[in-house]
């Protein structure tokens, strides 16, 4: 039977290095994805992944309950991503269109088979969403990324941010309203 | 309930996070409220768009490369550091034990020398100067003969004659040998 995350975390906290390797294997893609959504490029996402696991290894004593490992690692990853984002913001364009834009994004809305024009429209739509996301304040943006893109629960996000679930709900609500507004304006203007 | 009270429930309803009884109430309201329905549709559509912002497949580093880099900076580095940390300790320990060993060796040598020294003294006490070990060598006896010579006069004379034969003329020792010869022959 495959070991559960709390079981692996327990072993990791007991100093078992192969349990740490197992956690790297299980969480690497998730952390990479979150970092990529926040930073928008592969180079920084790679850095976040490595730094996050190094910090998890060093700070494992801070994890008091194995059940909160996901929030623990997410908090480290998002904090580092935001630090990196602030550092980068003055220097480079955050989104690298050639890599982050949706050559590999598939929008499957109402129609089952996307026609070329649908595909083009979806790409444009996605572009607008990314730009709209970037306009949000950090907490709202982070909440939208973690909940609506990465699929974490409100409870997990609350644990990650160290805030009540009500705050997560309100951040998410504000973020969605702003995104809807921005999208509506842009799409109507262009259509 | 009014629209203002229903609006905050729309997000949770779209997320499937709303309690069943509240969901039923909202559904009843949605059936008759266009504004709330538009709000819900917008949220659902936005959620779909965001959900489809899938994670990138292309990465600079492969999964294995990243894993190796992480392990090199954590697990392997840690064991390497431990080795590095232990090495000086071992060196200190071995230096310390070496110092202890040499001190112990010095102590043993000292103890042995003390034992030998005292045994020498005891030996000297037990063996008075008359015993042969403290007796002068035959040549010394020849030069400074004591009262009880080991060799007879004839033996001594033979010895000196032999010495006179092998010692070349002009040598300082030859004079004392000649002197001794004269003393023995007179
Ligand atoms: Zn309403």
User: A7-38: per-residue pLDDT in tens?
Assistant: 999 999 999 999 999 999 999 999 999 999 99
Using pLDDT thresholds of 50, 70 and 90, give the confidence band for residue A148. Answer: very high
Q: Could you tell me the domains of chain A?
A: 1-113 (1.10.1740.10), 114-191 (1.10.10.10)
Angstrom distance (rounded) from CA B119 to CA B112: 10
* Cβ–Cβ below 8 Å for A46 and B66: yes
Angstrom distance (rounded) from CA B70 to CA B52: 29
Task: Looking at A40-115, list the stretches that DSSP marks H as alpha helix, in order from N- to C-terminal side.
Answer: 42-58, 69-89, 97-100
Angstrom distance (rounded) from CA A154 to CA B143: 118
pLDDT at position B77, please?
Answer: 77
Q: Is B133 helix (H, G, I), strand (E, B) or coil?
A: helix
User: A91-109: per-residue pLDDT in tens?
Assistant: 544 443 333 333 333 333 3
Q: Does B8 touch chain A (CB under 8 A)?
A: yes
pLDDT at position A139, please?
Answer: 93
Nearest chain B Cα distance for residue A180, angstroms: 7
What's the pTM value of the predicted model, to 2 decimals?
0.64
Q: Does B84 touch chain A (CB under 8 A)?
A: no
Using pLDDT thresholds of 50, 70 and 90, give the confidence band for residue A153. Answer: very high
Nearest chain B Cα distance for residue A86, angstroms: 22
Residues of chain B with pLDDT below 70 are: 54-58, 78-96, 112-151, 167-173, 175, 186
pLDDT at position B168, please?
Answer: 63
Domain ranges of chain B: 3-51, 119-185
Using pLDDT thresholds of 50, 70 and 90, give the confidence band for residue A121. Answer: confident
* A57 vs B80, more confident: A57
Q: Is A96 helix (H, G, I), strand (E, B) or coil?
A: coil
pLDDT at position A188, please?
Answer: 65
pLDDT at position B125, please?
Answer: 61
Helices A69-89/A154-161 angle, 10° precision: 60
Chain A partners of B59 at a C-beta cutoff of 8 Å?
Answer: 32, 42, 45-46
Q: Is A111 helix (H, G, I), strand (E, B) or coil?
A: coil
């Amino acid at each position: 039977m495959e070991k559960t995350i709390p079981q692996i975390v327990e072993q990791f906290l007991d100093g078992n290095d192969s349990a740490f390797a197992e956690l790297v294997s299980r969480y690497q893609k998730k952390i990479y994805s979150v970092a990529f959504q926040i930073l928008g490029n592969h180079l920084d996402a790679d850095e976040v992944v490595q730094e996050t696991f190094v910090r998890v290894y060093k700070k494992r004593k801070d994890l008091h309950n194995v059940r909160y490992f996901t929030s623990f690692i997410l908090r480290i990853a998002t904090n580092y991503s935001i630090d990196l984002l602030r550092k980068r913001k003055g220097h480079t364009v955050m989104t690298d269109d050639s890599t982050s834009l949706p050559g590999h994004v598939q929008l499957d809305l109402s129609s089952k088979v996307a026609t070329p024009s649908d595909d083009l429209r979806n790409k444009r739509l996605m572009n607008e969403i990314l730009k709209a996301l970037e306009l949000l304040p950090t907490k709202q943006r982070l909440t939208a990324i973690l909940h609506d893109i990465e699929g974490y629960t409100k409870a997990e996000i609350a644990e990650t941010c160290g805030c009540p679930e009500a705050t997560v709900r309100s951040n998410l609500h504000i973020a969605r309203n702003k995104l809807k507004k921005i999208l509506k304006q842009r799409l109507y203007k262009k259509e | 309930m009014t629209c203002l009270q229903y609006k905050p429930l729309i997000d949770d309803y779209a997320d499937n996070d709303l309690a069943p009884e509240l969901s039923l109430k909202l559904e009843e309201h949605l059936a008759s409220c266009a504004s709330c329905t538009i709000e819900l549709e917008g949220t659902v559509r936005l959620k779909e768009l965001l959900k489809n912002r899938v994670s990138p497949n292309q990465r600079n580093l492969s999964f294995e490369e990243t894993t190796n880099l992480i392990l090199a900076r954590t697990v392997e580095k840690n064991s390497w550091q431990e080795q590095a940390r232990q090495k000086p300790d071992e060196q200190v320990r071995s230096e310390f034990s070496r110092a202890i060993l040499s001190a112990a060796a010095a102590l043993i040598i000292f103890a042995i020398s003390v034992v030998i020294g005292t045994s020498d003294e005891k030996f000297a006490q037990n063996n008075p100067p008359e015993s042969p070990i403290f007796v002068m060598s035959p040549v010394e006896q020849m030069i400074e003969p004591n009262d009880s010579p080991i060799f007879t006069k004839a033996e001594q004379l033979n010895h000196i004659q032999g010495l006179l034969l092998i010692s070349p003329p002009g040598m300082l020792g030859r004079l004392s040998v000649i002197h001794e010869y004269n003393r023995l022959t007179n």
